[in-house]
Amino acid sequence: MMRQYELVERVKRYHPDADEALLDRAYVYAMRAHGQQKRASGDLFFSHPLEVAAILTDLKLDESTIVAAVLHDTIEDTDATREEIDSMFGPEIGALVDGLTKIKKLDFVSKKAKQGENFRKLLLAIAADVRVLLVKLADRLHNMRTLHYVAPEKRIRVAEETLEIYAPLAGRMGIQEMRDELEDLSFRYLKPEAYETITRRLEEVAQRNGPLIETIEKDLTARLAERGISAKVSGRRKRPYSIWRKMERKSIAFEQLSDIFGFRVIVDTIDDCYRALGVVHTTWPMVPGRYKDYISTPKQNDYRSIHTTVIGPGHQRVELQIRTAEMHEIAEYGIAAHALYKDGRTGGRTLMSESRAYQWLRRTVDLLAEGDSPEEFLEHTKLELFHDQVFCFTPKGRLIALPRGATPIDFAYAVHTDIGNTAVGAKINGRIAPLLSELQNGDEVEIVRAEGQVPPAAWESLVVTGKARAAIRRATRSAVRRQYAGLGRQILERAFERAGKAFSDDKLKAALPRLARQSIDDVLAAVGRGEMFSGDVVQAIYPEYREDRKPSSDGANGTGWFDIKGGDNLRFKVPGNNEEGSSKAIPIRGLNGDLPVRFAPEGGAVPGDRIVGILTPGEGITIYPIQSSALAAFEDSPDRWLDVRWAVEEGNRQRFPARIALNTINEPGTLATVAQVIAEHDGNIDNIIMRRRTPDFTDLTIDVSVWDLKHLNAIISELRAKRVVSKVTRVTG
């Protein structure tokens, strides 16, 4: 275990003016707080925060971060409090430690919800101070290095979480060395056989190729020196996880890998980078399609380098990364290379807030912290952590970085949420293209918009960015809520009119406490969803009101309800104000209107039918023809019956569902004849069910989409005239 003076020496090695007293105080405080607590390995628990601090000293971080690392488990695992930390070490360090403390006192439905809420808390703390992330990654790295001491089931869970969240997060922050180690450690526990096999094969390759790496290092260094380029060339083998991921992605065997070796060329200036590239390409043949320039187009995590692959000595493919020393520092340490904070004890160093990686993190947190559940937040964050990217451009030349596999919908939301919400089409490189096209590097994308457009809910499962998925989910929820609120307002207006009472938002607002709702929209949406009956709202405003919907002895009463004889001699109540011109009836314009509407599942309804609306909780209005026998099931639920009327505008080319039943002669061509009649009359077949009744006859049940009742009757009349059709009837449930 690292001693007190060793910790101070490690910090002073790169920061001579560090506050030694602060470091000593933190060491003693944490040691006393953790006392005799033990880890799964049997070591004193205090050794863990010290190892975390040691990892961070390798990144040369300020003493406040080192102190936070030493204290990071005190609030969570000891009797220490945030107030105590603040008083002894200051609110800055207290905030860092609190940001690293898990949420323990909330009840969560699932482990995933708890994981998501803890991760949300962590990311919000990171957005406030990036040093929280650096401590957390170092904490996870040391836990992964000692993971073999914990129980197997926990081992798998921690490794999965590391591979899915923390390793990609380290990559997005540009801390590549830490990401590589986290991935390899996770891979070792999740795929132990594959890890052992690849590790063994790499050793065999190293023995077989002998001094190949050293040979290329010397040869390339000499060739660069001949051109006056001072360079440090270092070779390495790819890591096991990187190799396994490539084998899985490309479905190839280990023997088919041709770029196991990689080399880094560190030069002095950007000009030297391109000069070195010229030397490499004139010395060895370049592999087409393997050149990438991340200097002119940096990655979102600030990574900059030139990548190329050549056919090197022994016809061996060799990857090269060419960069300056400054680029190399950022490539290895990522955002840690920017983590310079204003501190009176550190010579006035300031945070380099222009770090693109940190800006991305702040934007991600701002977008994902808006009301989603913990599980959704975790899901969206995982999407945002995808590392492979494509770079596309707006028509004005703005660069947009997206995950590989992104579509124009993702692009639209990356530019602005409003553009995504109103997108109806796209042009890629000047040509009209589907919104689900996969974007490629260098594509210029123009989004076609339509005001008033609402993104389809189906888009949520088709996009690949967390921002797009979260925005679509919010937009569809908002649109559905507006639909329900609109329906609820119409229901209430008619309920108050029927009761002879005045209705206004002010009266409704005054009754909110009695209705146990926070806002008028909450009440309207609840009524529209069928969670609250209109009569209850009337009584909340007018306590003396009593609604009576029992039919009178003559079949009608003051509420406008009538006894109607339905199919199979059933009798049930329906609203009486159902004439087409009734101003009291709710207008129905179809599925694409401004109300949550669906049609009777067994038969549908079409304009021209006398119709009844049934309020279905959570689903809106279900429209039934007046003659539907299915209405008998709602006879004892008068609050669910709505007076509705058709309000389809002339020229509106929207089809409506209907069902017909046919008894046909069983002979070749019968189905074709039926389908031809429907097609010639501009009907659309949605579904067909065939059932052989006798050897000579077949029953057909066909769901069709038509314009109106006249259109449907024309189809039925033509079918009846066909020789192969014995009988045709309409099904109304």
Phi, psi of 464 (to 5 degrees): -120, -5
* pLDDT at residue 625, rounded to an integer: 92
Furthest-apart CA atoms within the chain: distance in Å: 110
* pLDDT at residue 138, rounded to an integer: 92
Task: Please give the share of the chain, as a percent, with pLDDT higher than 90.
Answer: 34
**Which amino acid appears at position 71 of this protein?**
L
| Alpha carbon distances (Å) from 328 to 143, 177, 269, 304, 481 | 27, 11, 12, 8, 51
pLDDT of residue 425 exceeding 90, the answer is yes
Asked which of 323-327, 523-527, 682-686 is least confident by mean pLDDT, the reply is 523-527
Give the dihedral sign, CA 52/56/61/63: positive
The string of pLDDT tens digits covering residues 318-331 is 889 999 998 998 88
Domain 4-187 falls in which CATH fold?
Hypothetical protein af1432 (1.10.3210)
Mean pLDDT of 496-515: 87
Rounded CA-CA distance 582/643 in Å is 9
* pLDDT at residue 45, rounded to an integer: 92
pLDDT of residue 581 exceeding 60, the answer is no
Task: Give 376's pLDDT tier (boundaries 50, 70, 90).
Answer: low
pLDDT of residue 561 exceeding 70, the answer is no
Task: Give 555's pLDDT tier (boundaries 50, 70, 90).
Answer: very low
Query: Directed axis angle between helix 356-368 and helix 374-384, to 10°?
Result: 150
CATH class, range 194-337: alpha beta
CB 257 within 8 A of CB 246: yes
Mean pLDDT of 349-355: 45
CB 387 within 8 A of CB 399: no
Task: Give 253's pLDDT tier (boundaries 50, 70, 90).
Answer: confident
Token pair, residue 52, equals: 């975390």
Check 43, 77, 217, 293 and give the catalytic one. 77
| Cross-strand pairs, 425 | 448
* pLDDT at residue 345, rounded to an integer: 36
Rounded CA-CA distance 69/63 in Å is 10
Task: Give 337's pLDDT tier (boundaries 50, 70, 90).
Answer: low
CB 464 within 8 A of CB 386: yes
pLDDT of residue 338 exceeding 60, the answer is no
> How many degrees, rounded to 5, is the angle at CA 567 between CA 566 and CA 572?
30
* pLDDT at residue 120, rounded to an integer: 63
Mark whether 77 is an active-site residue.
Answer: yes
* pLDDT at residue 54, rounded to an integer: 93
Per-residue burial over 278-311, b if 16 or more Cβ lie within 10 Å, else e, is ebbeeebeebeeeeebbbeebbbbbbbbbbbbbe
The string of pLDDT tens digits covering residues 618-656 is 778 899 998 888 888 888 887 788 888 888 877 677 899
**Which amino acid appears at position 204 of this protein?**
E
* pLDDT at residue 102, rounded to an integer: 57
CB neighbours of residue 532 within 10 Å? 24
pLDDT of residue 568 exceeding 50, the answer is no
Asked which of 28-42, 206-220, 238-252, 349-363 is least confident by mean pLDDT, the reply is 349-363
SS3 473: helix
Task: Give 365's pLDDT tier (boundaries 50, 70, 90).
Answer: low
The string of pLDDT tens digits covering residues 170-182 is 887 778 889 999 9
| Alpha carbon distances (Å) from 532 to 252, 495, 619 | 60, 13, 13
Mean pLDDT of 197-217: 82
Check 20, 58, 76, 219 and give the catalytic one. 76
The string of pLDDT tens digits covering residues 50-105 is 999 999 998 888 889 999 999 999 998 899 999 999 999 999 999 888 877 754 43
Q: Choose which CATH entry (3.40.50.720, 3.40.190.10, 3.30.70.260, 3.40.50.150) describes domain 656-731.
A: 3.30.70.260
H-run or E-run covering 669: none
> How many degrees, rounded to 5, is the angle at CA 659 between CA 655 and CA 664?
130
Taking the domain 388-464, which CATH number applies? 3.10.20.30
pLDDT of residue 484 exceeding 90, the answer is no
| Alpha carbon distances (Å) from 128 to 61, 136, 340, 386 | 17, 14, 15, 23
Q: Where are the alpha helices (DSSP H) in 425-533?
A: 466-499, 505-510, 512-515, 520-529
* pLDDT at residue 172, rounded to an integer: 75
Which is more confident, 108 or 130?
A: 130
Task: Give 434's pLDDT tier (boundaries 50, 70, 90).
Answer: very high
Token pair, residue 664, equals: 């046909």
The string of pLDDT tens digits covering residues 94-113 is 988 887 775 443 333 345 55
Mark whether 79 is an active-site residue.
Answer: no
Indicate the domain borders of the chain: 4-187, 194-337, 388-464, 476-541, 561-646, 656-731
Mean pLDDT of 538-549: 77
Rounded CA-CA distance 119/128 in Å is 14
> How many degrees, rounded to 5, is the angle at CA 15 between CA 11 and CA 18?
75
pLDDT of residue 566 exceeding 50, the answer is no
CB 132 within 8 A of CB 125: yes
Rounded CA-CA distance 324/262 in Å is 17
| Cross-strand pairs, 725 | 664
DSSP per residue, 72-102: TTHHHHSS--HHHHHHHH-HHHHHHHHHTSP
